[in-house]
Chain A
Amino acid sequence: MSSELGVRSKILFTLKRRSELRAKDSEPFKSMHYDLIVIGMGLSGLMAAKTAAEAGQKVLIVGKGMGSLCLFSNTLDILGQCPIATKMRDTLSQWIKDHAEHPYSKVGLERIEESLFSFVSLFPPPYSFHAIDHRNCLLPTGAGTLRPTYLIPTTMIGAASFDEGHTLIVGFEGFKDFYTRYVADQLKCRGINLQLPDPFYQELTATALARLMEKKSFRENIGWEIKKQLQGETRVGFPALLGMGDPIQVKEDLEEIMGTKVFEIPILPPSVPGKRIFDRFKEWLTEKRVTFLLGYPVSKATVTEKRCQGIEVHHPPVITSYSADRFILATGRFMGGGLKADAEKVFEPTFNLPVDQPPSREGWFGDLFFSDLPHPIHQAGVLANASLQPVDERGNVILENVWVAGSILAHHQCIVEKSREGIEIATGYWAARRALGS
């Protein structure tokens, strides 16, 4: 046993030595060269990778995690804060006129629409994304509120006109991230909690329930149990966990048994619908031979003469170098690690790009959590020109072969604007287009 361990540690040691040597080597590692490297695996990075792969590029996408997709992104927000009565095209057009610095204004209306079309085309029926009458619609949430959003998956369409007909909300005993009565009372409808046959798991999580739902017998039992308890309701709302891979089958089976419509309600993270989006991107990109490197952050970027030469990824104990002609930075905000803050300032850790921000920490946040004015720090971010290249305060391009996409960009307030996914899709698409020179 001890000799085995000895051998193993020797190998590790050799690997480490090699990686150290390679890291010092100024010559890039030729076999690890790509046309484009996308740093960040959230929605903006995935959109950029898709756009580049469609153009026939050899693409590497590297990310520490799945970005905010697995947390939020139950539906796709474009500009949720704008009036429901107006068509999204007109809303965006006015928004661009009024907000010259906003990421949407850099991309432009037509390309925003192209990018949304590109996204939607990735999800052919049955699990597809829809805009109701080209406007925002209101969907119920796990706090019993109604929330405006734009593109919604097939599994949520049943909730889009919530005030029509009778709805039953269904939850699960022991699932602590959804409270049926809380939701149902506020939505002024009836709610029931289902007791699951036996404690399948020590703790019921959304992902565990989503997997259980994929078992035919499990969902059939649930369907029959609810059918017994129906009191004339024509629609049944579940927390958003109706299966990971084939939610449409789950929905249709339940609908057939109960004789009602079924819809999903967005809940606390993790987001099962967000994970479905990630999985679909991954499936498609893998088919197109895009290289995925998930789970490791970029530990270093090598820059010479205003150009990024390559990146290093640290997978202990090895450090691997990758080079490319062009790079897209799509690392997100604070949650994603794209922006970091110490007690004095906000900075961008990968390239140390200038970050537009309030002058001091006192000004980062307002006195109240809920206020009409968004917290100033949420508008901080990396400065970019109309081509989404990183620039300094005077507008000079800092890195000639780097483009920036997603929520890391300055001059938006995606939480309050309800524009997160729209910004990610539009800028991911546009950054890749500009990187490819189109």
Chain B
Amino acid sequence: MKIKTEILIIGGGATGAGISRDLALRGIPSVLVEKGDFASGASGRNHGLLHSGGRYAVSDPEAAKECIAENKILRKIAPHCIEETDGLFVSLPEDGLQFRDRFLRACEEAGIPNTLCSRDETLAWEPELRPDLLSAVKVPDGAIDPFKLILENAKDAENHGAVFFLHAEVTSLLIEGNKIRGIEAKDLATGEEFSIDASFFINATGAWVNQVLKLAGLHIDMALSKGSMLITNRRLTHRVINHCRHPSDGDIVVPNETVSILGTTSIRLKEIENFEVTPHEVSLLVQETSKMIPAIQEARFIRAYAGIRPLFQSEEKGNDRAISRGFALIDHGKRGGIKNLITITGGKLMTYRLMSEKTSDLICEKIGREMPCSTHLNPLPGASRSSGSKERLKQFLTDRGEILCDCELVQRKEVEEFLREEKFKDLQDLLHRTRLAKGTCQGGFCVYRLLGVLHHFKRAGGDSNKILKGFLEERWKGIRPILWGTALKEEELIESIYKGIFNL
């Protein structure tokens, strides 16, 4: 199979999908190649915070300004991916008020709306907060669903002619002189090999940029910083809760539908693959976040996960939090490398649209077309539809259909629809696009049911139990670090089912 396109994008994270949409809206054809599913890297492994910019106001004013600008845009174009919760920056007695006052000034300078709230006011809104807190600053933080955001970008891009190859890995770059002529790729599901020719190539692979650049004999300096997060089995607060201090480990709690996400840590990694959350990180997160919300000490956790922040750096620095969260747009032609290769990395989910815009601008400049960006003006396709757990509950009450996932009320119908309509290649594809296995039991029960349904529709590709075991092994990475208390009880049950009753 041989494909020709104008622009080839490598990487299906928020940036890759965003660029694909941006180019498509400008009428420029593109093809995107991603070795996993959309949002498989850091784009899907973060705390789902719609930054107000407050978190960077003191330490990185540029990033803070970008955040608040994008925050306003995303609320307009992707309201269905956002819960407008607001956020509080809470000062505790041990912090004093010096940092808070700097924080207030920095917010003003960055243009982040901020309101200083008294202890009584704050506790009336958020009774789980520590009763002796000094004050809180309210900012327009929110919660965002990164999977939905990225899938919506992809859908809009596809509606405008963009093409995607998921579960396809780029195996080589075909270089002629100082230009890339095309790529060779392999479909990881079928093993089929194919090549794509293009005029320009965009490397949007986040923490994986150097793996792609290596195929062209290039390299850039990156710092890979692991950030770990914990999910509680209930929602602890209505608002995003930040610790009002210099950015540090365990200083944020983000509500997400029915749960809360505690974050984060920052640990420098040498390698990318096989990164896991350690029991030490779990203890650290619990210890730090419970300073703000004491109930976290007794909370039940349902999963721990980690993502890798791809931090671009020009020189070595010890502390990863000191490296700018700003993004890097590299024109390799200007560096004496490959003329038609651009790398976009660094940055964060919040600025994915801005990064896409700047990348597409550079492409337009290179191909000599003047087409303005419109991603900040056009809402995403599902923007007029509401969603969330309330909607699912309503849907369930109307349909009274067969429920596969009891924790998240995912109906069998929903899974069957997905199997009919979407290009299903991997169990993760389905898990990314439904709420299945996202609840308290983390798929302990419903994945057996899902396999039953997949097998029924002959979509399990042969050995269903192999897929089942693969899922349980993947699930293990997320739950192993949090196994004590009630979670441990449930683990004993799940193990007794799969190793006991089913003898897997």
Contacts and interface: CB of A to CB of B under 8 A. Distances in A.
Q: Decide whether A and B assemble into one complex.
A: yes
Interface of A: 68, 71-72, 74, 141-148, 174, 176-179, 181-182, 185-186, 202-203, 266-269, 333-335, 340-343, 361-362, 364-365, 367-370, 375, 377-378, 415-416, 418, 420
B366 to A, nearest CB: 47
B159 interface: no
Contacts of A377: 488
Contact of A342 (B480, B485, B497): B485
B402 interface: yes
15 contacts: A74-B501, A143-B448, A143-B502, A145-B503, A147-B502, A147-B503, A179-B449, A179-B453, A181-B456, A182-B455, A333-B492, A335-B493, A341-B483, A365-B483, A369-B495
A378 B491 CA distance: 11
Contact of B501 (A141, A148, A181, A367): A141
Interface string B455-471: 11000000011001100
A421 to B, nearest CB: 11
Contact of A143 (B412, B465, B475, B480): B465
B273 interface: no
B477 to A, nearest CB: 9
Contacts of B501: 72, 74, 141-142, 147, 266-269
Contact of A176 (B279, B412, B492, B503): B412
B499 interface: yes
Contacts of B404: 176
A199 B488 CA distance: 37
Contacts of A364: 483
Contacts of A368: 473, 476
Contacts of B472: 369-370
Interface residues of B, number: 43
A3 to B, nearest CB: 35
Contact of B492 (A141, A181, A334, A369): A334
Contacts of B469: 370
A179 B480 contact: no
Contacts of A74: 501
B445 A268 contact: yes
A74 B500 CA distance: 11
Contacts of B445: 268
B283 interface: yes
Given A142-B501, A343-B286, A368-B476, 5 more contacts: A141-B501, A143-B502, A144-B465, A268-B445, A365-B480
B489 interface: yes
B484 A341 contact: yes
Contacts of A365: 480, 483
A420 B504 contact: no
Question: Top 8 nearest A-B pairs by Cβ distance?
Answer: A179-B452, A369-B476, A147-B503, A143-B502, A182-B455, A341-B484, A334-B489, A334-B492
A416 B503 CA distance: 9
A299 to B, nearest CB: 19
A291 to B, nearest CB: 28
A335 B492 contact: yes
B451 interface: yes
Nearest to B494: A369
B485 A341 contact: yes
A148 B500 CA distance: 10
B430 interface: no
Nearest to A365: B480
Nearest to A267: B501
B500 A343 contact: no
Contacts of B488: 334, 341, 377
B95 to A, nearest CB: 25
B485 A182 contact: no
Interface string B367-404: 00000000000000000000000000000000010111
A73 to B, nearest CB: 10
A339 to B, nearest CB: 9
Contacts of A186: 464-465
Nearest to A420: B500
B453 to A, nearest CB: 7
Contact of A415 (B286, B475, B496): B496
A370 B455 contact: no
Contacts of A177: 448-449
Contacts of B283: 343
B120 to A, nearest CB: 33
A182 B452 CA distance: 6
Nearest to A185: B455
A145 B279 contact: no
Contacts of A334: 488-489, 491-492
B453 A141 contact: no
Contact of A146 (B485, B489, B503): B503
Contacts of B484: 341-343, 361
A415 B500 contact: yes
A179 B493 contact: no
A179 B456 contact: yes
Contacts of A147: 501-503
A343 to B, nearest CB: 5
A179 B468 CA distance: 14
A88 B400 CA distance: 49
Nearest to B489: A334
A368 to B, nearest CB: 6
B475 A369 contact: yes
A362 B473 CA distance: 18
B468 A202 contact: no
B456 A182 contact: yes
A141 B503 contact: yes
A142 B502 contact: yes
B473 A369 contact: yes
Contacts of A145: 465, 502-504
B176 to A, nearest CB: 45
A179 B497 contact: no
A148 B404 CA distance: 29
Contacts of A340: 485
B279 A362 contact: yes
Contacts of A341: 483-485, 488
Nearest to A149: B503
A267 B498 CA distance: 11
Given A341-B484, A361-B484, A143 B468 contact: yes
Given A144-B465, A145-B504, A179 B485 contact: no
